[in-house]
């Protein structure tokens, strides 16, 4: 298949697979012992509206070909956005040239052929939205308008944004594996402000989904952003203390993300993790369970195979609080003397099993008296030592009831102790990302205030 340079075209999966095959043939002709290629094309529309006026309107159209070749343990990679035959051959030639100058690495190479995905299950990840710019602008405007009309104290806006994107991704390697699948993602968000002077508060809300029909309405997103903003007005400061801390679901996702980063193969073989050599150890409380479920239909982190073509599978990553394994690519697995877990490119849908039923109210009751955190600020997280210190805002809770908003505080602890100190995980699960978790209660943290 010939692609005319400079001409914008939309290619089919067969077209992209042909480009991958051409790259692999050229790598073999140049003497590579192994090779892999990945080709993708992505299109999208993004709009941002502030105070009813369009601030940005963007149409995206991106494509790329990445080629990696191996000459024994020597590796070279190159990429291009030009899909013409000449450009594909030149890209492979560049990757081969680079490989000849790299050091030998016995762990380099493709994942084992026996681990390649034998089939590609349909995970229902693609739901294109034939949305024009005018309609997208009106949805964003209605979202922001609903927020501004919610309460007279909502007096300014950072805007509403809508994005819709679709992509097609094909991967192949010299084992004979070629596979790919289309994906879509759609997001709508709103940020508004309330108050005056030094008493200004802001908050946001958003909805995201693979299927645009599963998005919350623009009006409901705007109203929720406004409700959250109004709730934060007239915050108080807290004196420094030790107290239980309840993380909102969208923030609890970050805690699980820090855990996932610490058990990635690269963190382990580089000895840069607060959970070094932790397999077989209890890293969460007894009864705590985290599962990886790569094949949930329409989920944001679902994938039939990983970035190396290795079939993805369900697994229990934490069982009764005990870590059962790491998140490994073929390279990190070889460095550790282990076998890939199909996690080249990351984890695929981590699910934290709830320990408390009854939604958010049940978690407030479990908290009793303590801090409910709804916003975190700063980057004070060290996944090597586990040190954790971040600016925070939220609400002080007394006897299971929200008493008043709080601001200008810092919460601190050590991630290893924080994970061990999780006393409850709620069933108010946030399913908008690759980690599905409800609100999470940590027994004790240091709260630095006045």
Domain finish residue from 198, 231, 264: 231
253 plus 174 within the same structural domain: no
Other C-beta atoms within 10 Å of 124: how many? 13
Q: What is the pLDDT of residue 278?
A: 97
In a domain, 174, yes or no: yes
270 plus 122 within the same structural domain: no
The domain tally of the chain equals 2
In a domain, 383, yes or no: yes
Domain finish residue from 231, 249, 280: 231
Domain span at residue 49?
13-231
338 plus 370 within the same structural domain: yes
Q: What is the pLDDT of residue 9?
A: 52
Of residues 412 and 5, more confidently modeled: 412
Mean pLDDT, the chain, integer: 95
422-425 and 178-194 strand pairing:
unpaired
51 plus 68 within the same structural domain: yes
In a domain, 217, yes or no: yes
Residue 65 near residue 91, CB atoms below 8 Å: yes
Q: What is the pLDDT of residue 197?
A: 74
- Residue 91 belongs to domain with CATH number: 3.30.2290.10
In a domain, 190, yes or no: yes
- Tokens (6 digits) for 223: 């109203």
90 plus 124 within the same structural domain: yes
246 plus 205 within the same structural domain: no
Q: What is the pLDDT of residue 5?
A: 37
107 plus 255 within the same structural domain: no
Q: Please name the residue that has the structure tokens 């282990």.
A: 338
101 plus 121 within the same structural domain: yes
Q: What is the pLDDT of residue 336?
A: 98
pLDDT, average across residues 386-399: 97
- Convert the pLDDT of each residue in 326-382 to its tens digit: 999 999 999 999 999 999 999 999 999 999 999 999 999 999 999 999 999 988 999
**Which band of pLDDT confidence, cut at 50, 70 and 90, is reported for residue 2?**
very low
127 plus 247 within the same structural domain: no
- Convert the pLDDT of each residue in 72-131 to its tens digit: 999 999 999 999 999 999 999 999 999 999 999 999 999 999 999 998 889 999 999 999
In Å, what is the CA distance from 262 to each residue of 50, 292, 352, 387? Answer: 39, 16, 17, 13
Single pTM value for the model = 0.93
In a domain, 348, yes or no: yes
In a domain, 2, yes or no: no
- Convert the pLDDT of each residue in 143-199 to its tens digit: 999 999 999 999 999 999 999 999 999 999 999 999 999 999 999 999 999 987 778
């Amino acid at each position: 298949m010939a692609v005319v340079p400079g001409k914008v075209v939309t290619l089919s999966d067969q077209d992209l697979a042909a480009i991958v095959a051409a790259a692999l043939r050229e790598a073999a002709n140049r003497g590579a012992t192994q090779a892999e290629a990945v080709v993708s094309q992505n299109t999208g529309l993004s709009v941002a509206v502030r105070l009813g006026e369009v601030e940005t309107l963007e149409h995206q159209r991106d494509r790329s070909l990445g080629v990696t070749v191996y000459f024994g343990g020597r590796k070279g990679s190159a990429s291009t956005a030009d899909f013409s035959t000449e450009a594909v051959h030149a890209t492979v030639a560049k990757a081969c040239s680079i490989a000849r100058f790299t050091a030998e690495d016995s762990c380099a190479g493709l994942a084992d052929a026996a681990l390649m995905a034998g089939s590609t299950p349909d995970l229902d990840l693609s739901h294109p939205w034939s949305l024009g710019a005018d309609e997208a602008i009106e949805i964003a405007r209605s979202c922001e308008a609903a927020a501004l009309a919610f309460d007279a104290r909502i007096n300014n806006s950072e805007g509403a944004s809508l994005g819709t994107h679709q992509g097609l991704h094909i991967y192949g390697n010299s084992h004979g594996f070629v596979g790919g699948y289309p994906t879509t993602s759609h997001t709508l968000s709103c940020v508004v402000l309330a108050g005056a002077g030094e008493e200004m508060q802001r908050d946001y809300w958003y909805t995201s989904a693979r299927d645009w029909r599963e998005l919350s309405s623009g009006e409901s997103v705007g109203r929720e952003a406004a409700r959250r903003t109004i709730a934060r007005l007239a915050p108080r400061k807290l004196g420094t203390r030790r107290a239980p801390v309840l993380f909102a679901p969208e923030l609890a996702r970050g805690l699980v993300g820090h855990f996932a980063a610490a058990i990635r193969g690269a963190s382990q073989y580089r000895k840069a993790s607060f959970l070094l050599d932790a397999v077989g150890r209890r890293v969460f409380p007894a009864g705590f369970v985290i599962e990886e479920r790569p094949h949930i239909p329409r989920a944001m982190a679902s994938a039939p195979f990983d970035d190396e073509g290795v079939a993805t599978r369900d697994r229990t990553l934490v069982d009764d609080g005990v870590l059962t394994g790491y998140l490994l690519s073929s390279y990190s697995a070889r460095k550790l003397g282990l076998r890939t877990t199909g996690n080249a490119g990351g984890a695929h849908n981590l699910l934290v099993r709830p320990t408390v039923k009854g939604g958010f109210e049940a978690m407030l009751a479990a908290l009793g008296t303590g801090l409910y955190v709804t916003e975190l600020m700063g980057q004070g997280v060290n996944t090597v030592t586990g040190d954790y210190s971040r600016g925070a805002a939220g609400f002080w809770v007394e006897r299971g009831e929200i008493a008043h908003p709080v601001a200008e505080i810092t919460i601190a602890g050590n991630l290893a102790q924080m994970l061990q100190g999780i006393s409850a995980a709620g069933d108010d699960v946030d399913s908008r990302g690759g980690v599905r978790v409800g609100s999470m209660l940590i027994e004790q943290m240091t709260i630095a205030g006045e």
